[in-house]
Structure 1
């Protein structure tokens, strides 16, 4: 919502200059220069506020609004005060925004009462008050929408964290748990055959060592990809055929994690459940979305009978958290194609 204040400053600047250069008011160069400098100062304060927000900036901008109003002959600059409750709402909450909105409206009416006797009988001044009130209402409504969007984003982030924890728990259960179970069985076998058949016992120990190595590889892969820097970097470590179309944009971490985990899930399903020999991942970075497609030559399955199986439900839920969608095409003996599309 930072663009709102900048747009208002620009409109006020153009209106003030037009009023002067169109001959609608007296041309006073020092006054015009002060007006332009004050607007420039407001732009500068907005830039500072993006990096260091605080109450003192709101107070400073409000003081500058008075300066601009005093220097502007068009009278349109009064609209700047609509930004005071708007900014207060975003920074300090609904109560602060509503209180300051009422205060700004009261100041405008008071000013008319002091400097414009009988203003309430002049259609222009009454119109100014009504338009200012409408501006306040719209500004507060926009602030409310922005606040709700911010809360929704925070909620989505919380849900993403919860989904990631669920995913990690599932990974530990399915991958690491499988390897540890295999190690336990092989060690029991080695113990049972140690005195009767040393060769079988030795082979069981070798199998146990291989399972331990596989478990360590899985752990290293998970740790390395918990926070991938880019999607392509993350996918490169999956040991599958990878093709990339387009240049990767600056994707947010939630989108990168979602697409990477989707690829992991699809690859695991292809190898573990589909007995696939070849798995390929294709990523397309488009103007409107990012699309990831995982294809395999496995045995496939009937999609209508496996909507909640093979991790598909979790995959779809994860994609939905970032506004994405998942499609699965498969048939017995025809392999599987999983496509995940996330909007830019």
Structure 2
């Protein structure tokens, strides 16, 4: 399928060469050149090109393109008839060249073959023994070479433009996918960071409301704990913004899990026990962050949905990979209750090359297991 109009400089260059040769032949008295008709025909051709570009800036529709091509062929013939130099026959190479952009390769090749056959037939009619004339055979061969070159040039131009269009589309698609991936990442971070702290704040305020009349001291402590959780949420937001703006310190899973567990006690949440084994060096940072987010989500769900009183977090890192197990003694897990948090967790773990398993734990409660094969740290 045609994709655009012809290369704009080819026709004017050829018109200029034909004009110079024809005027030289006229001034030198070579042949029978009629300068007014000759120059007027070339000017008309240039005018057609200019009007077409203005009328159809991007692409000429097929019907107008066919009409314009017919007009050009007629003017080519008229110019050749009044040109004593004989060079005007080179104008006919523009026929397949223009047709390639307007109608495609098949029609362009057919017109090129028809042009060569027409020139051969005209030579045979004028001189039955034209094939014995070296000059006529040379002219025919040169004309055929010109046809091949112009069709090849048109093919290269079309493919180059198509490649540029495909590259632009691919670039736009990559940008769109990158933006989507970044939006999903930010959404996961918002859910994991703010969602975790907001859950604690909501539960603490509910506790303060429930104990307001029964135990004012417990209510006051719950409000203070809620304030503390809100401050930690603000610190997490600032840390996330800082991370987006600059390269932060290397991530430490053990330190992050230790802080996470300590924060549960400060927020008045369930008892959380941490077990950590192995060395983090050599493990992919994305895998370590995915484990931390999984632990964060597991504790939040144990606190919000399971109403657990005891949560255990066990992280094991070895040569084969990394594993995180979060268990609680709550009400158990229902698959239909999976929300955005678990979805985001699965996405993070899958991006790190791992898997998530979640279900009931022995003795009741819920067991969350995250396994990520080891990949070398970048």
Q: Please confirm whether the aligned pair reaches a TM-score higher than 0.5, indicating the same fold.
A: yes
Mind listing any 5+ residue stretches in structure 1 that lack a counterpart? Answer: 219-266, 276-304, 309-344
Measure the CA separation in 2 of the matches of 1:6 and 1:159: 34
With normalisation by structure 1, the TM-score equals 0.58
Within the alignment, does 1:99 sit opposite 2:110 as a pair?
Answer: yes
Contact 1:20 1:26 in 2 (8 A): yes
> 1:101–1:268: structure 2 CA closer, same or farther, 3 Å change rule?
farther
The match for 1:38 is 41
Contact 1:180 1:211 in 2 (8 A): no
Runs ≥4 in structure 1, deviation > 3 angstroms?
A: 202-215, 267-270, 272-275
From 246, 264, 270, the counterpart of 1:271: 246
The match for 1:25 is 31
Measure the CA separation in 1 of the matches of 2:49 and 2:194: 61
Question: 1:238-263 CA distances to partner (integer Å, 9 max, x unpaired)?
Answer: xxxxxxxxxxxxxxxxxxxxxxxxxx
Q: How far has the Cα of 1:170 moved from its partner?
A: 2.4
Question: 1:19-70 CA distances to partner (integer Å, 9 max, x unpaired)?
Answer: 111222346xxx3111111111111222233342222222211111111111
Measure the CA separation in 2 of the matches of 1:198 and 1:136: 87
Mind listing any 5+ residue stretches in structure 2 that lack a counterpart? Answer: 1-6, 209-220, 251-282, 287-378
SS of the residue 1:2 aligns to: coil
Measure the CA separation in 2 of the matches of 1:162 and 1:178: 24
From 173, 193, 200, the counterpart of 1:189: 200
Matches within 5 A, 1:67-82: 67-82=78-93
Question: 1:303-344 CA distances to partner (integer Å, 9 max, x unpaired)?
Answer: xx99x9xxxxxxxxxxxxxxxxxxxxxxxxxxxxxxxxxxxx
> 1:157–1:202: structure 2 CA closer, same or farther, 3 Å change rule?
same
Q: How far has the Cα of 1:97 moved from its partner?
A: 0.9
With normalisation by structure 2, the TM-score equals 0.53
Measure the CA separation in 1 of the matches of 2:107 and 2:30: 38
Calculate the aligned-residue CA RMSD, in Å. Answer: 3.3
Please say which structure displays the higher CA radius of gyration.
2
User: Which structure carries more relative contact order (alpha carbon 8 Å, separation 6+)?
Assistant: 2
From 77, 86, 91, the counterpart of 1:66: 77
Question: 1:260-294 CA distances to partner (integer Å, 9 max, x unpaired)?
Answer: xxxxxxx976515469xxxxxxxxxxxxxxxxxxx
Q: How far has the Cα of 1:211 moved from its partner?
A: 8.7
Measure the CA separation in 2 of the matches of 1:268 and 1:3: 52
Measure the CA separation in 2 of the matches of 1:147 and 1:112: 33
The farther-off stretch of 42-51 and 100-109 is 42-51
The match for 1:293 is none
